[in-house]
Structure 1
């Protein structure tokens, strides 16, 4: 039975331009539906149409039914608690100051008794493992912790349909995997129907019953996991980068067979096919001039709290791209904020070009650019272009120079069509790109990027990688804080793991990832038993060589 149906649905903010066009989608009760596609293709808008209380303004054409009824015929309980929604940006959903109160807020509005509220909250807090920060202020949580809190706050209402918009965007790899496993349990054990928009497909493969691929406001392909990927590979071969490594591998090895959906199945395919893997070519970057040096950096938010940063030591070399990974709340964003002077360490020294930083605001504006975890914080004006112009004026650019740089940055990041949009009308991925473009207007020599690929589809990530490499060739040094392992493996010259308030070591990506079991790429997990130095999907697919045995000799077929 269909729990939710969209029949020939189109949507527009105005009568001139339709964001969604002729959407036909049927979601059965108990299904697990994964929607993916390019940034700005209408995925988030589609999800908002599924929630009666999302207050999405605009024109809707077509019919949307929940349990066979139009939204106008649903009672308040069905509108509020039966359909749960977890937004892309966790700050857009949190309404109170304390973690415990956020969990209780929806239940209070439903009029539940105190005893029932406490039982539900206790159960959900333990299920999500947030009981250790149950009494904390929401403002002290990391972005990933806020997202977990939002999940718990929605599920405590016991919804029948759970809608999630990129819930893992701010989660570290281990937390993201745990969350996906939780969603699988919620779907299979509790019977909750799940609709999720997500770019990370690897962990969703075992649970998804229906895949939907969107592009330019339309559903291009949809189907069960049995047939979807073969159809996808044949219909849109140029978009293969969207597919998980294990699916790309199995389609390369056995184009006609059902694709592997887990690492274990992928390993079996490699083993049974008698393939060997060529080792990748590892290029080491020459480390010469130190541009940024951190010495014994320590920081804590309050005098009697534990240190967030603990004697951090780090040398960043001129012209390199370095990525720092680590768990949610480990202190990665805090480190970037201390480098830019937003937070002041109580111990340690920071050197830029061998000169100790004294938190000179003018120097930061000229030398260092910071992309924050929430790029919305960078925008104040009603359109992107107005914001860019204001930013350029603030940094002393003439109107002509500012206009020239706006055009250059817009072309570099393919955002010219977004300049007249309001920042809040952009998707998460589009907002990331325009925020990065804004920083590039004043041409900083050191870029600090906090989760630059959050909300970006694989193709947009490729554009960002190309841009960062271009900036690197122009002499810009880049420090990245990220949970995106695949991105870090491709773009970085060195990678480090942030743990226990410091960075134990920073290594070349192949050396770093080949020794990890959890903080490593899907390609490395597949290749590790045969060739542990492989960390990229491209290396895995290019490195495959089939062996044939003839008269006791091995012939390699490339």
Structure 2
């Protein structure tokens, strides 16, 4: 075993029960002690499977070959003690098991049989370290997504793990909460020496903070190197094609132009400021002026009589055939607003009209993708689920096949049909759920975090599909934390804060006028190219200068 490795795998392969193709193939990997190893790759490349195999209690059901070895100098007999390996997933809701924050922090310690006096000290220092004093006695169901993820991290950290496994932990966090979470991880690694194995699609902040980058493609480890070396080795490969549009903004702009390639926004800004640039005119975004699909007037809603209002006087007019992004922090009410639009929730007061008529549940041809796409599946295989739903829609086998063929170039569903929906990765579940909704050819599409868990290539394909749908007159509303996606593929943006929705603004204008809730490309280039919103804008400007 590598003397510097905390854990290593040798020729590790794994096949899920009933699957024909292995999820992992001959993966040999060493995770150095006290380092941050970033694991990236496309959806379904095996990242989550590898992390779960390293946490014995969470190992998936299937056939495993190869070896997993832990450092015997730290783990007795080479086997982790309970709590020595911590795992945090992408769903904050699925990790909270108690009613109060303080109960969540002591739950694992009680399970280990820690004495009361020692437990009190451990909880006190954990609360102080993570700054949880104001949340300590809060009910967990009142926390935002970012707060829940921080509490999950603190409860795992209280167990003093030697190895921290994180499976896309920022997938459901807003940009500010995600940035804070990454900063906390760096602090844990730097100050406590915690070894971290992090799986992420959000590479803007994850790539620069990593000591090593491991790239999985098709279940195989195709690269393991420090960030700069990893970029050099990956260029021109299929794996890089999947990852490229999800790379940090500085990498997307300066890869092939500057060596070593800048990785962070400040580094990219410094390079831009040294270049002879001038403002480049970028065409204004045009927004179709169709008939109003939705009209909301003075909408108020609260979940319980004694609770605060979630929506407070929301006014909204959505033109038909447009794609609109609703942005805002965790807990701001974005999901609630989507559920009002699809008729799942009725406002306490105010009016909701669709095409000029009062909204009644079941009266409109709207499809709703929830934050948890697994809720849409009822059968043991995706194929069986699609078949059952097609029958509900009155489609025969030929019509079902025709619609699947139309979706295949964008969603790549054929490769998933024989699998159990719950065995799919997060990104694959998103694609599968969206495919199911599109079988009905809805006139309105309401999407709650549609890019969650998707790799960069899948996000690009989804964006192109949404453009095609709006071209056919479909009205799309999406609640998202993915600012890059909203800048590229939506026409209007509005921000929810304190239960109120800002006036809808053309997307480019929205991101140009913001300083924090804006794209990484704009934050990097604003001092030189104030009109630039996307990496494509910056690249176009550099091409003009060249």
- TM-score of the alignment, normalized to the shorter chain, above 0.5: yes
The alpha carbon displacement at 1:455 in A equals 0.1
Query: Are the counterparts in 1 of residues 6 and 70 from structure 2 also a CA contact under 8 Å?
Result: yes
Please tell me whether the aligned partners of residues 288 and 319 of structure 2 are also in contact (alpha carbons under 8 angstroms).
no
Please point out which of 10, 13, 23 is paired with 2:13. Answer: 10
- 1:279 touches 1:534 (CA, 8 Å); kept in 2? no
Distance 2:345 2:75 in 1: 47
In terms of mean alpha carbon deviation, does 486-495 or 228-237 score higher?
Answer: 228-237
SS in 2 for 1:18: coil
CA contact (8 A) 1:98 1:136 kept: yes
**Pair 145,420 (structure 1): closer, same or farther in 2 beyond 3 Å:** farther
Check 1:431–1:79 CA distance in 2 against 1; reply closer, same or farther (3 A cut). Answer: farther
- Structure 1 stretch displaced more, 95-104 or 524-533: 95-104
- Deviation of 1:389 (Å): 2.1
1:51 aligns with 2:55: yes
1:483 aligns with 2:481: yes
Corresponding residue number in structure 1 for 2:298: 296
How much has 1:146 moved relative to structure 2? 3.6
1:271-286 mapped onto 2 (5 Å cutoff): 271-276=273-278, 278-286=280-288
Contact preservation (8 Å) 1:47, 1:163 = yes
| Alpha-carbon distance between aligned partners in 2 of 1:146 and 1:309, rounded to the nearest angstrom | 22
**Deviation at residue 54 of structure 1 after TM alignment:** 1.5
SS for the counterpart of 2:208 is coil
Given that 2:90 and 2:172 are in contact with CA atoms closer than 8 Å, whether structure 1 keeps it comes out as: no
Q: Distance in 2 between matches of 1:115 and 1:339?
A: 52
Partner residue, 2:529:
531
User: Could you tell me how far apart the structure 2 residues matched to 1:57 and 1:69 are?
Assistant: 29
Helix, strand or coil at the partner of 2:10: strand
Residue 378 of structure 2 contacts residue 385 of structure 2 at CA under 8 Å; is this kept in 1? yes
Please point out which of 176, 197, 200 is paired with 1:195.
197
Paired position in structure 2 for 1:516: 514
Partners of 2:151 and 2:226 lie apart in 1 by 31
Do residues 260 (structure 1) and 262 (structure 2) align? yes
Change in CA separation of 1:410 and 1:228 when aligned onto 2, cut-off 3 Å:
closer
CA 1:63–1:396 in 2, change beyond 3 Å: closer, same or farther?
same
Give, in whole Å, the separation in 2 of the partners of 1:474 and 1:525: 34
Aligned equivalents of 2:347 and 2:277: distance in 1?
A: 53
In structure 2, relative to structure 1, the CA distance for the partners of 1:131 and 1:305 (3 Å cut) is farther
Question: Are 1:325 and 1:483, in contact at CA under 8 Å, matched by a contact in 2?
Answer: yes
CA contact (8 A) 1:65 1:71 kept: no
Partner SS, residue 544 of structure 1: helix
| Offset of residue 71 of structure 1 | 8.9
Partner of 2:206: 204
1:425 paired residue among 398, 415, 423: 423
Counterpart of 1:441? Answer: 439
Task: Name which of structure 1's ranges 188-197 and 302-311 shifts more when overlaid on structure 2.
Answer: 302-311
Match of 1:101 in 2: 103
Q: Distance in 2 between matches of 1:228 and 1:200?
A: 17
Comparing 328-337 with 227-236, greater Cα deviation is found at: 227-236
Offset at 1:70?
12
1:161 Cα deviation after fit? 0.7
Query: TM-score w.r.t. structure 2 length?
Result: 0.93
- What is the CA distance between 1:105 and its match in structure 2? 1.5
After superposition, residues 538-549 of structure 1 pair within 5 angstroms as 538-545=536-543
Q: Which moved more, 1:143-152 or 1:287-296?
A: 143-152
CA contact (8 A) 1:64 1:71 kept: no
* Structure 1: distance between partners of 2:256 and 2:308: 50
Shift of 1:166: 0.2
Q: Report how many residues are paired.
A: 540
Distance 2:181 2:285 in 1: 35
Please list every run of 5 or more consecutive structure 2 residues that lacks an aligned counterpart in the other structure.
Answer: none
Give the equivalent residue in structure 2 for 1:451: 449
Q: In the alignment, does 2:38 pair up with 1:34?
A: yes
Q: Distance in 1 between matches of 2:16 and 2:403?
A: 30
Map 1:378-397 to 2 at 5 A.
378-397=376-395
In the alignment, what sits opposite 1:550?
A: none
3-state SS in 2 of match to 1:186: helix
CA separation of 1:252/1:421 partners in 2, compared to 1, >3 Å: closer, same or farther?
A: same
For residues 188-212 of structure 1, the C-alpha deviation after alignment (integer angstroms, 9 at most, x for no partner) is 1110010101011111233210011
How far the C-alpha of 1:245 sits from its partner, in A, is 1.1
Shift of 1:279: 3.2
The whole-number CA distance in structure 1 between the counterparts of 2:128 and 2:450 is: 31
Verify the 8 A CA contact 2:342 2:361 in the aligned structure 1.
no
Q: Write the distance in 2 (CA, Å) between the matches of 1:479 and 1:505.
A: 15
Match of 2:220 in 1: 218
Structure 1 unaligned residues grouped into runs of 5+ = 546-555
2:130 and 2:380 mapped to 1: Cα distance? 38
Distance in 1 (alpha carbons) for counterparts of 2:206 and 2:403: 41
